[in-house]
Structure 1
Amino acid sequence: MPDARRTDAVLLLVALVWGSSYLAAKTAAAAIPVLALLFARYAISALACVALVAARRGFRRWTREEIRAGALLGVTQAAVLVLETYGVAHTSAANAGLIISLTIVLTPLLDRAGGRGRLPLRFFLAAGVCALAIGLLVSGRGLHAPQVGDGLILAAAVVRAGHVALVGRLTTGRTVDPLHLTTVQTLVGSALFLVPALGGLPELVRSSATTWIQLIYLALFCSVFAFLAQTWAVQRTSASRASLLLGTEPIWAVAAGIGLGGERLTLVAALGAALMVAGTYWGQAIERAHRTTVKDDTPCPATALTG
């Protein structure tokens, strides 16, 4: 059906944009300080969100829940992006996109709300496959020699899983406008990074047009567009299909790193990449089936600035 194909195409585009964000962040971080990069990304996103709220027809009052949840999630999301951006600055974009996908199997372990019960043993086997994949990816014969960036991305995956679980706990069963929530998060992030980024603002202002294009891409496409497009698409398809298509993000990260970033894919790294994709998909399928048995097949929550 045309509508189904359109929805699938939007979800794949979101996954592609998120996958490409690691290379864009890595390149921009090489030109300007990371904290200045993060402030610019948040500030541009916040301006876009405020403009969308102002332009939307039909004024809707902001609720206390939206402000409280957005403020807390803004802090946790900022922590994710600090680790991700510093991490990708010291590793390959391909490794970053693959290791961060560990979030898929970590989130169910942290999300114990809702009485979903103990996860099957097979799920932990899938997590073990992902751990083996990380070992191959960061080995000396992988995409590059092991660096501190891999550890930072691994930490980002843990924090990101906690962030996603927190989104579910703060929004499930509550009336929360996604755009309002995203706007609060971007405003909080802008405020958090303003003072730490002051020292790097002169470099930010003097940065090249290419760097500004990357910053605008990260803010408008990888953050605002991707989140709103994901929300629109998830409402028009099943949770299982949305998860399947969005789960292609690490594949696009590898494609961008190799095709555009000139990163090398060795045999060991290729095996690690294949195991990571297989392990996350396997774990995702097991967790989804487990959710279905307890009649809770809702899509995994997400927020802007995910990629």
Structure 2
Amino acid sequence: MSDARRTDAVLLLVAIVWGSSYLSAQTATSALPVLLVLFARYALSALACLGVVAVPGRGPRRWTREELRAGVPLGLTQAAVLVVETYGVAHTSAANAGLIISLTIVLTPLLDRTGHRGGLPPVFYAAAGVCVLAVGLLMAGNGFHAPRLGDLLMLAAAVVRAGHVALVGRLTAGRAIRPLHLTTVQTLVGTALFLIPTARELPTLAHAGTATWVQLLYLALFCSVFAFLAQTWAVQRTSASRASLLLGTEPIWAAAVGVALGGEHFTVLTGLGAVMMITGTYWGQSVERAHRSTTPPRTAVHPVEEDSRCPATTPTTPTTV
């Protein structure tokens, strides 16, 4: 296999893993309280990240002041994203969760204007409008009715995640921050946050079944640590546009996993909504990227962009990673 194909395969694998995370989170929260699932996910991710940081030959292990100053507030906002997102997944289908959260792709550029001057082109808002219509169809399900709690929570999670990604850019722009060290700080912050409200429920983890622990380990080690390391390795070996294209297939895999493994079913409305969401997000992403590349930047921004789907991931654009 050529280096280019190997890199593409790794990025596609990361997208598949992220897409499957919604069904895993849904399964785990059906057996354990949401906050306890989040604590276990963060704690396992933190242990794994600390282990990777401690590997000899990876350079200085100590955290810099800038990494701590950025990591603590980003850990708080990331935890907020995961709380809303995980509660949402617990009350809707895995397919809907993965599709609605992809709204982050078009919401982030609306909040983050640091990379270019002036407003976004009108065609971008047309793409965003397609996504909004798609959300309405996804929420409709078998017919138009009052929005379901889980879908509304996923919509809120997309808004909060977009704010989080924009904040990542502001706090890391122009600073020498190592992604792994920043991620480790965030996992430690999340572990500390969820330890307090779940302290009395910790014995429940000892009695959790094997299937539940498999889901927790998958969320922490594969959706978080593996995805972060694999993505970082791959993004350094390809273009941002190609990485965004491959990582942007996440909602497709979320829907596929939900239908194939979760026994979920698409109605005509939800199927149409899925197609419109994928079309709108890809369209908006391409418009924003083209606008950013042709517009003089306000400042030299090289953010360590991060994906809050997993406590230990660091994404590539306001749309991916």
Pick the TM interval, shorter chain: over 0.9
- Structure 1 counterpart of 2:49, one-letter code: C
Sort the Cα spacing of 1:274 and 1:304 in 2 relative to 1 into closer, same or farther, 3 A: closer
Aligned-partner Cα distance in 1 for 2:105–2:303: 9
CA-to-aligned-CA distance 1:3-58 (integer Å, 9 cap, x gap): 11111111111111110000000000000000000000000000000111111413
Alignment-derived partner of residue 28 in structure 1: 28
Alignment-derived partner of residue 244 in structure 1: 245
1:92-241 matches, cutoff 5 A = 92-141=93-142, 146-241=147-242
Secondary structure at the counterpart of residue 43 of structure 1: helix
Sort the Cα spacing of 1:143 and 1:206 in 2 relative to 1 into closer, same or farther, 3 A: farther
Q: Is the 8 A contact 1:143 1:266 kept in 2?
A: no
- Structure 1 counterpart of 2:99, one-letter code: L
Secondary structure at the counterpart of residue 13 of structure 2: helix
- Structure 1 counterpart of 2:42, one-letter code: Y
Sort the Cα spacing of 1:254 and 1:298 in 2 relative to 1 into closer, same or farther, 3 A: farther
Q: Return the TM-score normalized by structure 2.
A: 0.91
- Structure 2 counterpart of 1:91, one-letter code: T
Aligned-partner Cα distance in 1 for 2:71–2:43: 16
Aligned-partner Cα distance in 2 for 1:210–1:144: 35
In the TM superposition, what is the alpha-carbon distance from 1:279 to its structure 2 partner?
0.3
Aligned-partner Cα distance in 1 for 2:177–2:231: 16
Alignment-derived partner of residue 274 in structure 2: 273
In the TM superposition, what is the alpha-carbon distance from 1:117 to its structure 2 partner?
2.0
In the TM superposition, what is the alpha-carbon distance from 1:203 to its structure 2 partner?
2.1
Alignment-derived partner of residue 16 in structure 1: 16
CA-to-aligned-CA distance 1:227-284 (integer Å, 9 cap, x gap): 1211111111111111111100000000010000000111111000000000000000
Sort the Cα spacing of 1:114 and 1:74 in 2 relative to 1 into closer, same or farther, 3 A: same
Aligned-partner Cα distance in 2 for 1:144–1:3: 50
Secondary structure at the counterpart of residue 195 of structure 1: helix
Q: Is the 8 A contact 1:142 1:266 kept in 2?
A: no
- Structure 1 counterpart of 2:24, one-letter code: A
Where structure 1 has 5 or more consecutive residues not aligned to the other structure, the ranges are none
Aligned-partner Cα distance in 1 for 2:198–2:144: 31
Aligned-partner Cα distance in 1 for 2:61–2:40: 28
Aligned length, in residue pairs: 307
Alignment-derived partner of residue 7 in structure 2: 7
Q: Cα RMSD (Å) of the superposition?
A: 2.0
In the TM superposition, what is the alpha-carbon distance from 1:303 to its structure 2 partner?
2.6
Sort the Cα spacing of 1:174 and 1:301 in 2 relative to 1 into closer, same or farther, 3 A: closer
Aligned-partner Cα distance in 2 for 1:278–1:38: 31
Q: Is the 8 A contact 1:222 1:305 kept in 2?
A: no
Q: Is the 8 A contact 1:89 1:149 kept in 2?
A: yes
Aligned-partner Cα distance in 1 for 2:47–2:102: 29
1:47-62 matches, cutoff 5 A = 47-57=47-57, 58-62=59-63
CA-to-aligned-CA distance 1:124-145 (integer Å, 9 cap, x gap): 0000000000000001416998
Q: Is the 8 A contact 1:42 1:190 kept in 2?
A: yes
Sort the Cα spacing of 1:134 and 1:170 in 2 relative to 1 into closer, same or farther, 3 A: same
Q: Is the 8 A contact 2:8 2:246 kept in 1?
A: yes
Sort the Cα spacing of 1:120 and 1:305 in 2 relative to 1 into closer, same or farther, 3 A: closer
Sort the Cα spacing of 1:301 and 1:283 in 2 relative to 1 into closer, same or farther, 3 A: farther
- Structure 2 counterpart of 1:194, one-letter code: L
Q: Is the 8 A contact 2:142 2:269 kept in 1?
A: yes
- Structure 2 counterpart of 1:135, one-letter code: G
Q: Is the 8 A contact 1:227 1:303 kept in 2?
A: no
Aligned-partner Cα distance in 1 for 2:308–2:286: 25
Aligned-partner Cα distance in 1 for 2:228–2:19: 14
Q: Return the TM-score normalized by structure 1.
A: 0.95
Greater Cα offset, 49-58 or 237-246? 49-58
Secondary structure at the counterpart of residue 31 of structure 2: coil
In the TM superposition, what is the alpha-carbon distance from 1:90 to its structure 2 partner?
0.3
Sort the Cα spacing of 1:145 and 1:94 in 2 relative to 1 into closer, same or farther, 3 A: farther
Alignment-derived partner of residue 264 in structure 1: 265
Secondary structure at the counterpart of residue 38 of structure 2: helix
Alignment-derived partner of residue 306 in structure 2: 303
Aligned-partner Cα distance in 2 for 1:295–1:225: 35
CA-to-aligned-CA distance 1:189-247 (integer Å, 9 cap, x gap): 00000011123322222110110010000001101111121111111111111111110
